[in-house]
Amino acid sequence: MNLFIRSVFIFVLSVINLNVVWAVSNETDVKVPLYSHVNIESKSLNKGSEHQFLLSTPKRISNTLIIEKELTLAGDRTDLLLKIKSPGSSKKAMQFYRDLLSTKGEMLYQCEERACGSSNYWANNIFHNNKLYGRDSEQYYLAGKLVVEDKRYFVSIYAVTNGRKQQYLYLSYFPDSTPASISNPSDILKAMSKLKTWQQGVFFDSAQLDTEDLAFIKKALVEDDSLVLWLTVYSDLLESQSVSEMLKVSELQVTKFRDYLIKELKLKSNRIKQRNIGPFGDKPSGYSGATWFRLYLLR
């Protein structure tokens, strides 16, 4: 009987040891420091060419979820669902990560409670995990850049007390492969803002761009294979010419401009598209030429 009890004890002890080893190895695989009072409920590696990294609170406008500021970043993203255990709390956990980002990285965005919007959006539309659905007044979000052992990571942390009064953290991180030329967060946001302007269209009164615009377009097309440069041309409707005649004039101008851009930017023909609008558009104020152009960078 004693031998049986001893065997059972050894078996249970070995199982416990295995679980401890698994937990430790699972935690040591995590590249970002963990808040001390958490258990790892799940860990996944999300492989993909692009990931959404929020720098603003999600809002719903006309039944559409709107993200005003975000980064689209490449790399393998690690996602961890962490359950906070006693004596920890979501508030203390977020303070831990605030201190971490302030001392070993940079804070790019943060919100608290109702300023984070609806918890439902975070749980169902952003993180796709219903355990994160809770009260809007008991949620927090941080996003920033963190340096760990001389390696840079983008890190986001969402904390919430869900409907079952359980406190959770959702931690995501992936390597920061941002080129050194735009490694500064303010530079990243400037680049985002400029690209957004080009996605809405930029007018030009002549078929020639300055060095700065050419450099920006080239860089954007090189860094994002999904972008295409769209070139549109407009023209005045002169009293002495018909619509069809003006369309021929503007078609000739847009073709010349396209050839110029292909040469200057060293573009393949599939990265640039053209449209002849002709006299069917309003002339921007201050333009005096018979033709003018609008360029877009679109996916």
What pLDDT sits at residue 194?
74
**Strand pairing class (77-84; 167-175):** antiparallel
Point out the residues of the chain with pLDDT beneath 50: 1, 4-5, 7-26, 179-183
Q: Which amino acid is at 274?
A: Q
CATH number listed for the domain at residues 181-298: 3.30.1330.60
What pLDDT sits at residue 223?
75
What pLDDT sits at residue 189?
54
Q: What is 159-187 written as a DSSP string? A: EEEETTS-EEEEEEEEE----GGG-SHHH
What pLDDT sits at residue 9?
43
What pLDDT sits at residue 27?
53
What pLDDT sits at residue 20?
31
Q: Are 77 and 46 in contact (CB under 8 A)?
A: yes
Q: Where in the chain is the domain with CATH 3.30.1330.60?
A: 181-298
**Strand pairing class (228-235; 272-278):** parallel
Task: Give the model confidence (pLDDT) of 47-88 as tens digits.
Answer: 876 788 999 999 888 778 888 888 888 788 999 999 999 999
Which residue(s) pair with 297 in the sheet?
Answer: 229
Task: Give the model confidence (pLDDT) of 102-144 as tens digits.
Answer: 899 889 899 999 999 999 999 999 999 999 999 999 999 999 9
Element (H, E) at 4: helix 2-28
Helix, strand, coil percentages for the chain (3-state, nearest 5): 40, 35, 30
What pLDDT sits at residue 185?
52
pTM of the model: 0.55
Q: What is 199-220 written as a DSSP string? A: HH-EEESSS---HHHHHHHHHH
